[in-house]
Structure 1
Amino acid sequence: MEKPTYEQLNDLYEDAKLKVSGLELALANAGARQRITAHDLKSPLVNIAGYLEFMAFELAALEKDRSEASVNQRRITLARLKKKMDIALSLAQNQIGLIMLKGLSYEEVKKQAKPLNLIDEIRNIVNAYEHSRFRRGLGFILEYSPEVKVFEAKTSPHAFAVLFSNLITNSLKYASSNSVIKALGYFNKERTFNFELENMVDIPINPEKLKRVFERGYTQEEVQTDEIYRRNEGLGLSDAKEIVEKVYRGRVEVSSDHRFQITYERAKGMEREEFPVIPRKSYVPHLPSFHATVSIPLEALI
């Protein structure tokens, strides 16, 4: 048996080093995902703690004064706080739901299927984030085809809510203040349900860089800095993309441009719903857009 040459031994070493480097990066990416999930959970949990504190304060005040006027005033305040807390709880639960869904298969989610109306579910999710929209002055326009309006899907209500909450939260989080988010739902010839979501951003997003994150994860440099949270709008979609592909066998495509892709011409014949606040025209900035299309095969919804 021939003795290995120096070059062969060096090749073995370099190959082993490359594999170790790949494993280290995979571990770093797993840690980065956990940090992002924890970061996204932190905000609603802080809000929930604040709302509970306010509720306790109101109840303590009510204990001291149980007059009719006091009861009526506290009831309105407590109802408002509860509504805000429910939204924060929904945000937190959906973040946890993302983790749970990643462990499920297409077949397992199909077993959880129940009848639901796609537009009703999406409308409920948009309404759930009313406080977030009002706080940042964001308008939301939902347009959809007549066929989608009456379509009765069969899917896991939890999986659908988690997926679309993630998509809509991503838009709300990164949309420029006092702008309009547009959504478009329709069926295409390939027998898929397409849901397009578009929001204005302060600077154009590099879709190639975003696709690289989707496909190969973050670099060592990216996972070692807090810039991972705010470096690139749309990173929140990496979880949604994983769920769409695994649970629904669909796909997510992203792009960024200096013009909107959801136009008046494309929405002709569609039904339209406007969710306030719709900013006045003079206040809508002319900014680049971030556009995402979610495509789900109809067979995953029937």
Structure 2
Amino acid sequence: MLFLGGFGRSGTTLVERLLGELPGMCALGEVVHLWQRDIRDDERCGCGARFSGCAFWRRVGDLAFNGWANVDVDRIHTLRDAVERTRHIPRLASATAATDEVREYASYYARVYAAAAEVSGARMVIDSSKHSALAHVLRWADDLDLRVVHVVRDARGVAYSWTKTVSRPETDGADQMTRYSPGRSAVLWNAHNAAFGLLARRGVPVYRIRYEEFLADPRAGLIRLADFAGLPLHPEHLDFLRTEHADLRAGHSAAGNPMRFTVGRLALRRDDAWVRALPSTQRRLVGAVCGPLLRAYGYPLNIASEA
């Protein structure tokens, strides 16, 4: 399975939606939220239906657990709190991390992935959960071919995005997505991205892409990602891509960015509003906190050169 990782607001949903258009791939959204938002809260699937009314997810639940009613969500939450936290990553990265709790927690995800692959007929399912700790947990899952796509975006663009107010369509606008201050965002950007570097050093196949480069040439980017996933492409498989947009079908993303509800034309352009809109003091703060990794990923620290 293909795990899309990184820090939120880095473009993982966009990458997932485009990958989901390729033959042999099935995009599942952020499975990390499936247990609460879908099984418990019955929020909307990417296809627009309530989770309980989505035929795709109903079949997945039947195959994986003989019905979602048989899933002990409280137990999963207990396991999550015990093993799937950023602070647990050093322990998860050790050679002795494969405790019974880690393996049990990973097994719930593995069962969802296997069932989704069978229901969809896909050779590769995509989980865009992003969480670095979850990726470290999944490396201990039995019979799971884990491949990680590490999506990186300029920390200053990410910080600006986290300050914006975004409604959650799946709750009919009643709730809003989480917001972070630029300082908090910078600390989390460092922690999550560094964790994927550690995962690569533990032998997990990790392929890093930069949001900005991917959008500069999404066709070439998708070809490289499909090759990493082991799924060869033919030119006609990319017919849904146009010069500045993609034509998307409805999908079955369980949770994630509101973009998962987009059907039809999706504009493919970089969001560089932060260059003008993020105050200079905040740009300097984020640049200072994230400077070492920004340089490592090839981002210039001179804001003027990016404008």
Q: What interval of TM-score do these two structures reach, taking the shorter chain for normalisation?
A: under 0.3
Q: Of the two, which has the highest radius of gyration?
A: 1
**Relative contact order: is structure 1 or structure 2 higher (C-alpha 8 Å, sep ≥ 6)?**
2
TM-score, normalization by structure 1: 0.26
TM-score, normalization by structure 2: 0.25
Give the helix-richer structure, 1 or 2: 1
Give the strand-richer structure, 1 or 2: 1
